[in-house]
Amino acid sequence: MAIVGDCDSKIDFKQKEEWRNFCCSSFTSEERADEGVEASTTFDDDHASVLDNQRLPTPRCLLNNNEETDSQPPPTKKSQRSTQDMHAAQAQTAKRKRVKSLAMKVVTSRVNHNNNLAKNNPNEKSINFIVDEINKTHGSNLSPQTVGRCVRQGMIGISPMKKGPTGDVPRAMRTSLNVAFATFLQLEQSESKAQSALKHMALWVNQCTNEAGHNKQGDDLTKKLKRDTADLFDCSNANVMEQRCLQWITCDNLKVWCNTWKETVIDLGFGRE
């Protein structure tokens, strides 16, 4: 019986030791300091219960995921750009491309002329100096490495090659379409008319290109024309002053204006009949 009692005491003491290690290891040093004597109470061999001698500390609570989510700022709402904003962005891009094309034509011609000069010529300059001068004059951002490569490839005095695959519309036809597209919209605005919708312009552009043997459908080509010529006209901007000038220019008004000017010049002695 004594042996059994001793075994029970050893078993109880081992369980108490495991419980004490668990309580001490589950809390921080500050929490153990707050508990005071209760956390450091020694266990003797008697069968006194731990719950009777000390108060069990409250287990540490982890942060709730909802609290972390609530602390984060709400996501920003995405807004779609208006037609005017999109046209303004396209106009800036088209303007930069035109400036770059003009600067590339000038700088390649200058560099080629500089390379043809004789050695020890006082007018000879470095390619970096020429590119910096052209960038300051035209407001471009060309690289000397790109300019040197274009000169070595023989691309002198021409626009830089565009990125992407070659289109099925010839370059000359594409240039004519750009001019016609911009002129048509400018005439509409000069007459103070509502600007044609994109789907209507797409029908006319496709009809024009299909007469040349192309099979164009949809509004892809029209969107490209609008993007390339965005800096030549304003979006939905009717020119009222130009409309009034066109309405005033009639046959009778022109006769009155020309005859009055003729009589004034003759009376002042600056001309004769």
Chain position carrying tokens 């982890």: 62
Shortest CA distance to 159 belongs to which of 114, 113, 103, 229? 103
- Whether pTM > 0.75 for this model: the answer is no
Least trusted range by pLDDT, from 2-11, 194-203, 205-214, 228-237: 2-11
| Residue range 72-99, pLDDT digits in tens | 677 777 777 777 788 888 888 889 999 9
- Residue 39's pLDDT is 41
What number is the average pLDDT over the span 93-109?
91
| DSSP for the chain, written as a single string | -HHHHHHHHHHHHHHHHHHHHHHHHTS-HHHHHHHGGGTT----SS---HHHHSPPPPPPPPPPHHHHHHHSPPPPPP----HHHHHHHHHHHHHHHHHHHHHHHHHHHHHHHHHTSPTT-TT---HHHHHHHHHHHHT----HHHHHHHHHTT--SSPPPPSSPPPSS-HHHHHHHHHHHHHHHHHHHHTTPPPPPHHHHHHHHHHHHHTTT----SSHHHHHHHHHTGGGS-TT---HHHHHHHHH--HHHHHHHHHHHHHHHHHTTS---
| Residue range 139-192, pLDDT digits in tens | 889 999 999 999 999 999 888 887 778 888 888 888 899 999 999 988 888 777
